[in-house]
Amino acid sequence: MIGMLKRGRLGWAYAGFWLNGLVVVMLGPLLPRLENLWGLGDAQGGSLLAAQFLGMTLGTIFVRRDRRSALAVGSVWAFSGLVLVAGLVGVGRPAWWILPVAFAAYLGCGFGLGQVITALNLGLGAAPEGRSSRLELGNAMWSVGAICGPLVVALALGTGRLAVWLGVLALLLPLVWLVAAGREGTFEEAHKGEHAVSSAALGAVLVFASLMFLYGGAEASVSGWVTTFARRSGGVAAVVSPLSTSAFWLGVAAGRGLAGVLMKGWRERTGLLVLLGTALAASFGLVFAQGLGQIAGLAVVAGMALGPAFALVFAGVLGAKASPRQAGVVLAMCGAGATVMPFLLGVVSERTASLRQALVLPGACLAGMFVLVALAPQASSAEAS
């Protein structure tokens, strides 16, 4: 059994997933407030989303070999970035230097978040026995944290002390993640004997990486912009609009929690195609949604259909005996998609003066996933099973 389990750190690892999800998702619900506070356009707001997910991608690629070191380094970077954001919120006025400093803050925070989530995923996936169930539960806890993130933002906006809330949250990061670290060895030791990868497995890794890129782009685009969309197009109050993001992550958590029941008796490829088709329909439905009820309802459906995909793909990568470096590349591709697509969505929104039209982009990502699974059924489903 992996060192994390031997030392009774599993509960703390799940708490680490929860906290990571909470912090990652907060930027989307904060975006309308930050744009107003600092005088930013949608393209500039999208650049902050890109900065966070670019940092996560880099943190995933350059993760430390020692699990404790990865969690410690991640804690420092995430803490520093979030404290800097809190300080910028405290400034409370537009200034030319705000955007580059905020970009750097979210880049650093994202780097820490990427280090932590990679270390936690590889820690739970190190031992083959029970790997899939641990990863499912860990990522379900991440989704629960993602549900809580917009609620924290709503509470912070309601109290009028956003900077204080961000500062207190920053203090929690090292407290939880360093306890979860324990004294485990390197990832290579945990995955001893799993470095030899066949050419077929390498081909599967490429398919998984492509799916992760599109998945990350669709998920981050909806999560990052649905609050802003509800605020503008739905006429929803600022302290209520973050609930639309919570609705999306509620759907993701429910989908991951019910995946075993919903897909029981289904072939993996068929089930994945049905899920992607449902998410695609809900995503395009958002383009025409009006009011918080419709937006939240469609967000729940989209999240519920999309939710099981992450753990399914990542468990498939580990099941194909991918090395830690290859698993990190797959996770990095998820971050790359989450970096590129929300930024492009902001650019399209600003140039067309219509966030509603720009929301076609996550639907395009889901359509790409659907086509990829349909054209490469053996690589995308057989390994994942």
Mean pLDDT score, 315-324: 66
pLDDT band at residue 189 under the 50/70/90 scheme: very low
pLDDT band at residue 379 under the 50/70/90 scheme: very low
pLDDT of the residue at 381:
42
Q: How far apart are CA 3 and CA 7, in angstroms?
A: 6
Q: What is the pTM of this model?
A: 0.84
Q: How far apart are CA 322 and CA 357, in angstroms?
A: 39
Comparing 10-14, 28-32, 184-188, which segment has the lowest mean pLDDT? 184-188
**What's the mean per-residue pLDDT of the chain?**
83
- Mapped onto helix, strand or coil, the DSSP state of residue 186 is strand
pLDDT exceeds 90 at position 138: no
111 vs 308: which has the higher pLDDT: 111
Token duo for residue 310: 């992450």
pLDDT band at residue 208 under the 50/70/90 scheme: confident
Q: Where are the domains of the chain?
A: 3-182+197-382
Q: How far is CA 288 from CA 70, 125, 179, 282, 355, in A?
A: 43, 40, 46, 10, 11
- Spell out the residues 6+ positions from residue 264 whose beta carbon is closer than 8 angstroms to its own: none
Helix, strand, coil in percent for the chain, rounding step 5: 80, 0, 20
Concatenating the DSSP letter of every residue in 97-163 gives THHHHHHHHHHHHHHHHHHHHHHHHHHHTSSSTTHHHHHHHHHHHHHHHHHHHHHHHHHHHHHT-HH
pLDDT of the residue at 238:
78
Residue 352: count of CB within 10 angstroms of its CB:
12
382 vs 151: which has the higher pLDDT: 151
pLDDT exceeds 90 at position 193: no
Which residues, in sequence order, are bridge partners of residue 186? Answer: 66
Residue 187: count of CB within 10 angstroms of its CB:
24
Token duo for residue 373: 């699974």
Mean pLDDT score, 290-301: 92
pLDDT of the residue at 263:
66
pLDDT of the residue at 197:
43
Q: How far apart are CA 281 and CA 242, in angstroms?
A: 22
pLDDT exceeds 70 at position 129: no
pLDDT of the residue at 278:
92
pLDDT exceeds 80 at position 378: no
Alpha carbon of residue 269 to chain centroid: 23
Which of 113, 111, 94 is CA-nearest to residue 25?
113
pLDDT exceeds 70 at position 212: yes
Mean pLDDT score, 307-327: 70
Q: How far apart are CA 233 and CA 357, in angstroms?
A: 11
pLDDT, tens only, 39-91: 999 999 999 999 999 998 898 888 877 778 888 999 999 999 999 999 999 88
Which of 254, 248, 195 is CA-nearest to residue 223?
248
Mean pLDDT score, 176-205: 57
pLDDT of the residue at 199:
43
User: 39 and 238 in contact (C-beta within 8 Å)?
Assistant: no
pLDDT exceeds 50 at position 190: no
Burial, 375: exposed, middle or buried (Cβ in 10 Å; 0-12, 13-18, 19+)?
Answer: exposed
pLDDT exceeds 70 at position 221: yes
pLDDT exceeds 80 at position 145: yes
Which of 146, 168, 131, 133 is CA-nearest to residue 338?
146
pLDDT exceeds 50 at position 4: no
Topology annotation, domain 3-182+197-382: Growth Hormone; Chain: A; (1.20.1250)
Highest mean pLDDT pick, 11-25, 61-75, 129-143, 188-202: 11-25
Which residues, in sequence order, are bridge partners of residue 66? Answer: 186
pLDDT of the residue at 113:
94
Longest dimension (CA), the chain: 58
pLDDT band at residue 265 under the 50/70/90 scheme: low
101 vs 381: which has the higher pLDDT: 101
Mean pLDDT score, 302-328: 73
pLDDT exceeds 50 at position 156: yes
pLDDT of the residue at 215:
93
- Mapped onto helix, strand or coil, the DSSP state of residue 70 is helix
Dihedrals phi, psi of 353, to nearest 5 degrees: 55, 35
Determine the Cα angle at 306 with ends 302 and 312, to 5°.
170
